[in-house]
Amino acid sequence: MSVRILQNNGMDRCVLRHETGRMTLPVWCFVSVLIMFMIADASTLSTPAGSSEIGDWVWQDLDENGLQDVGEPGFAGIPVLLYDVDMVFIGSVLTDSGGYYSFDGLAAGSYSVEFITPKGYSLTLSKQGSDDMLDSDPDRVTGLAGPVVLADAEINLDIDAGIVVGCDGPGEPVYLYAVDLVTDGCPCYEGCPRLHFADPNHPSTVTGYNIYRSDDPSLPRDSWPLYAHNVVDMDGALPNIQWIDTACDPVEGWYYHIAAWSEICGAEGPYSFSYPGIITSVLPAEGPQSGGTQVVIGGEYLGSGSDIYSVTLCGVSATIIDQTASSVTVISSPTATPGLGDVVVSSVDWGVTTSIDAFTYLDSGLMAGDLYATDAIVGNMRYVPGGTFTQGSPTDEPCREPYDPGSETQFNHTLTRNVAVMETEVTRQMWADLLAVQPSLPADPTNTSYGSGMSNPVNNPTWYETVLFANLLSLQNGLTQCYYKDAGFTDPVMSSNYTSGTFYCNFGANGYRLLSEGEWEYAARAGTTTPFSCNETNYTTGNCDSCTEGTHPVLEQYAVYCANDTGESEWVGSKLANPWNLSDMHGNVWEWCWDWYNATYPGDTTDYTGPGSGSYRVERGGSWFGIARNSRSANRNYYSPGFRYYYFGFRLARSVN
């Protein structure tokens, strides 16, 4: 059997034809050959007639010990190839849903079995232990098990293979890593330079290390001469490596570049020139444009701790005040260009570690609606400066006060706090992202019958759950939490105490929180005085309850409500934003606010956050299920804080004075 290439609509494909001799499978043909294997019936290939059988199981070796352990699953869809004594291809099968395979109807003779691992995997250690029924048989490099000699009518079901997460595939480049070391003649071993380094987290596919040497560290690493290949420890063991330059070159100051090497994968990884460091936290994740913010960058393998570091925030060099292998503390420098950018830690010993879009320089000249910051979990935050506005609705506004007469009586409300408000409502994806890093958060409460997309707003949360979400998000971002169980702000709301009792909000904290009712209406109006932040001139007393499409053509561009809904919420931001770039302030889902509900407002006041106690918490904004009047900027709704419904949701804000 051999392989030739044909052109089909401009694309290369592989075509097999039977000939005498061994079949070779170039990497570039693998996918096409595999497809042909999948559609081929092994019984129709050139299998010698007989009554012998060979086969067993392919499993995922989760602990990479080369042995079948309880709970390790079978691996379906693995191509298994059979060869005769002369390595002439006979046939192939795919492992079934449980990972099993077999070749039957074989004549007596000698056979070899080849296992093809998918991209991203490799074979596990072979021949580990004394029980042939539990170990992995194929060679890790060649993928071949055998030769296996079958007598007439013999059934051998012991040829099994373990698969581990590993390199990208035979013969393809794999991401390994490298580290630079320098010796100045010491430490030495009998006068020879000696390198001693540890690699405790090396993947199982690493078999040794390539060592490159140069006396000029400024040269590109890929131009350094290879000095030693596939080096292991003096005792032949990984991962603690001690290597001696037995050439005993008297020149001091050689620079050694060490790159992990894999005989299993068959290729050295592309040059990365850095140990695989990772930045896990940047706290705080923002600071003023003028600089002066102390920022703690946490992670793993940022450097050796004692070597020379440099750090940039959004491309601006920061001043280092403390450093270890797992954290760096810096002071931000002033910048002329505010905005979001990368955090980069550079180590002379271990290279460069980057966290994308991890720090924000805040613009000191922000206007209402400008982008304040972008949070890694809840996205864009829009700046809403404090100010004075008229809260409530005028007496001639159509269909005002639908529940409690006098509940929308206007008053002058002064807000002294500047806030950053989420551009959208909290989505299901945001909930999932926070849950992944803060596992004490309850599961997503969404009733997916009314909005299942991950970009749809979370629905069905209780007020209590929104408060816990806010505190956990603050904790994740290294911000001061806003919600507490005591007036002294010493007992924060957490998963063990969030479902009942008294709650207090520290509005001066910089963490995430719900908007107060006044803040919500101020942000929703965005400087407007009309029923909606958009100029819907067709809204009247006669049609304020209408769910007929086209009745309010302007509002329908800004709000998801009963005139344009599809029986569920829509993805956030699917409609136009208000003048301050806030989406879905009208419709989609009702949004919980902080305040206890009171049927009357207090009159002209400053920073009103509702009564000190009550039975119901305020909701604002209307929903996809509701009529137009419910989506008015002044409309008020209220429910028990423990109540949940499929058109409830929330958005968060932060005080940013």
Query: What DSSP assignment string belongs to 606-650?
Result: ES----S--S-EEEES--TTS-GGGGSTT--EEE-TT---TTEE-
Residue 296 confidence (pLDDT)? 93
Residues 6+ apart with CB under 8 A from 103: 42, 47, 53, 54, 55, 82, 90, 91, 93, 111
| Average pLDDT, integer, range 135-139 | 91
In the predicted model, is pLDDT for residue 460 greater than 70? Answer: yes
| Average pLDDT, integer, range 158-166 | 85
Residue 275 lies in a domain: no
In the predicted model, is pLDDT for residue 205 greater than 70? Answer: no
| Average pLDDT, integer, range 497-510 | 96
In the predicted model, is pLDDT for residue 5 greater than 50? Answer: no
| 133, 159: one domain | yes
Compute the 3-state secondary structure of the chain and give helix, strand, coil in percent, each to the nearest 5: 10, 35, 55
Residue 247 confidence (pLDDT)? 54
In the predicted model, is pLDDT for residue 250 greater than 80? Answer: no
Using DSSP, state whether 127 is helix, strand or coil: coil
In the predicted model, is pLDDT for residue 191 greater than 90? Answer: no
List pLDDT tens digits, range 583-596: 999 999 999 999 99
Residue 476 lies in a domain: no
Residue 580 lies in a domain: yes
| 309, 448: one domain | no
CATH of the domain at 82: 2.60.40.10
Q: Where among 165, 186, 220 does a domain terminate?
A: 165
Q: Say which residue, 33 or 289, is predicted with more confidence.
A: 289
| 335, 303: one domain | yes
In the predicted model, is pLDDT for residue 238 greater than 50? Answer: no
Give the count of domains, the chain. Answer: 4
Are 111 and 82 in contact by the 8 Å Cβ rule? The answer is: yes
Residue 10 lies in a domain: no
Query: Residue 17 — very low, low, confident or very high, per pLDDT cuts 50/70/90?
Result: very low
| 226, 249: one domain | yes
In the predicted model, is pLDDT for residue 194 greater than 50? Answer: no
Write the DSSP string, 100-113: EEEEEEEPSEEEEE
| 320, 438: one domain | no
| 235, 317: one domain | no
Query: Residue 609 — very low, low, confident or very high, per pLDDT cuts 50/70/90?
Result: very high
Max CA separation in the chain (angstroms): 99
Residue 304 confidence (pLDDT)? 66
| 86, 121: one domain | yes
Q: Where among 311, 345, 362 does a domain terminate?
A: 362
Q: Say which residue, 268 or 651, is predicted with more confidence.
A: 651
What percent of the chain has a predicted confidence (pLDDT) above 90? Answer: 54
pTM of the model: 0.57
In total, the chain counts a number of residues equal to: 657
How many helices and strands, by DSSP H and E, does the chain display? 5, 41
Residue 222 confidence (pLDDT)? 65
Q: Say which residue, 294 or 131, is predicted with more confidence.
A: 294
Residue 233 confidence (pLDDT)? 52
Using DSSP, state whether 596 is helix, strand or coil: strand
| 565, 540: one domain | yes
Residue 25 lies in a domain: no
Residue 526 lies in a domain: yes
List pLDDT tens digits, range 380-429: 999 999 999 999 999 999 999 988 899 999 999 999 999 999 999 999 99
In the predicted model, is pLDDT for residue 170 greater than 70? Answer: no
CATH of the domain at 402: 3.90.1580.10
- What is the extent of the structural domain holding 354? 282-362
Where does residue 376 rank: exposed (0-12), middle (13-18), buried (19+ CB within 10 A)? middle
Mean pLDDT score of the chain: 81
Query: Residue 50 — very low, low, confident or very high, per pLDDT cuts 50/70/90?
Result: confident
Residue 524 lies in a domain: yes
Residue 14 confidence (pLDDT)? 29
| 150, 79: one domain | yes
List pLDDT tens digits, range 60-105: 988 888 899 988 999 988 889 999 999 888 888 889 989 999 999 9
Residue 246 confidence (pLDDT)? 54
Q: Say which residue, 437 or 249, is predicted with more confidence.
A: 437
Q: Where among 362, 385, 404 does a domain terminate?
A: 362
Query: Residue 285 — very low, low, confident or very high, per pLDDT cuts 50/70/90?
Result: confident
In the predicted model, is pLDDT for residue 517 greater than 50? Answer: yes
Residues 6+ apart with CB under 8 A from 8: none
In the predicted model, is pLDDT for residue 236 greater than 50? Answer: no
List pLDDT tens digits, range 543-561: 999 999 999 999 999 999 9
d(CA 500, CA 214): 67
Residue 496 lies in a domain: no
Q: Say which residue, 133 or 647, is predicted with more confidence.
A: 647
| 354, 372: one domain | no
Residue 364 confidence (pLDDT)? 78
Residue 256 confidence (pLDDT)? 61
| 429, 544: one domain | yes
| 349, 370: one domain | no
